[in-house]
Amino acid sequence: MNEAGPIEDFGYMVHPTIMATHSFGNAPALDVLLVPGGIGNVALEQANNTSVEDFIRQRYPKLDYLVSVCTGAGSLAKAGVLEGRRATSNKGAWDWVTKQGTNVTWVPSARWVVDGNIWTSSGVSAGTSPAMALGIDMAYTFLSHVYGADDQALINTMNGIEYAPHLDAHWDPFSVVHKACLRFLECWSGRAWANN
């Protein structure tokens, strides 16, 4: 994103226009960077546009947290920040995402993975919040980590949307549905080390 203004969806889907207030070049200092996934990652790759990865690589050293949702983990991998780390991503796009970086321990059975200050989540419900940005399941755990599980705003939000988050980071049932885990035992054994 080279300038502030409307962010397009590459014509793949119909969404409300998002108005960027900053470009990558003039963005303020950040505590948390959320990297969303979706078809836009593929469109950027097809256009040989590395601006997202460049921004991640530049900003990561000063972040408190780097959080990715869905195929956003592919951008983290291409930026090189997942080198030597564990991560997960959308199981429906597993083959594409896991080819985006080298020396990444991809955890196919995980709903989300925390490795240091990097949080990666699986697909849409693991990676979508009421604001359509941060995975409900991972968001609940992340916000509990940052603000405490007894934070009243967090409790009120979960009660207000009538959502009980999936709290087992080690098991994503969609890893089997989308065959990210080719054998059940491969996935089951992954549960033991997904977030250790």
In this predicted model, what pLDDT tens digit does every residue of 93-107 receive, in sequence order? 888 899 998 899 999
Tally of structural domains, the chain: 1
pLDDT of residue 113: 93
For residue 72, what are the domain limits?
5-190
Question: What's the CA gap between 59 and 56, in Å, rounded?
Answer: 5
CATH, residue 15: 3.40.50.880
Does 63 reside within a domain? yes
Does the annotation mark 181 as catalytic? no
State residue 196's pLDDT score: 44
* pLDDT value at residue 123: 72
Is 111 part of a structural domain of the chain? yes
pLDDT number for residue 125: 56
Q: Is residue 44 part of a domain?
A: yes
Q: Give strand ranges (E) for 71-141.
A: 86-87, 105-106, 112-115, 118-121
Q: What is the structure's pLDDT at 192?
A: 41
The pTM score is 0.75
Residue 12 included in any domain? yes
Instruction: Please give the backbone phi and psi of residue 158, each rounded to the nearest 5 degrees, phi first.
Output: -60, -40
In a domain, 173, yes or no: yes
For residue 126, CA distances in Å to 59, 89, 178 come to 25, 9, 15
Q: Does residue 196 lie in a domain region?
A: no
Selected catalytic residue, list 70, 82, 110, 134: 70
Q: Would you say residue 142 lies in a domain?
A: yes
Tell me what pLDDT residue 80 has.
Answer: 97
Residues of the chain below pLDDT 50? 126-134, 183-196
pLDDT of residue 171: 66
pLDDT score of 72: 92
The encoded tokens of residue 185 equal: 């035992």
Residues 55, 62: Cα–Cα separation, whole Å:
12
Residue 195 lies in a domain: no
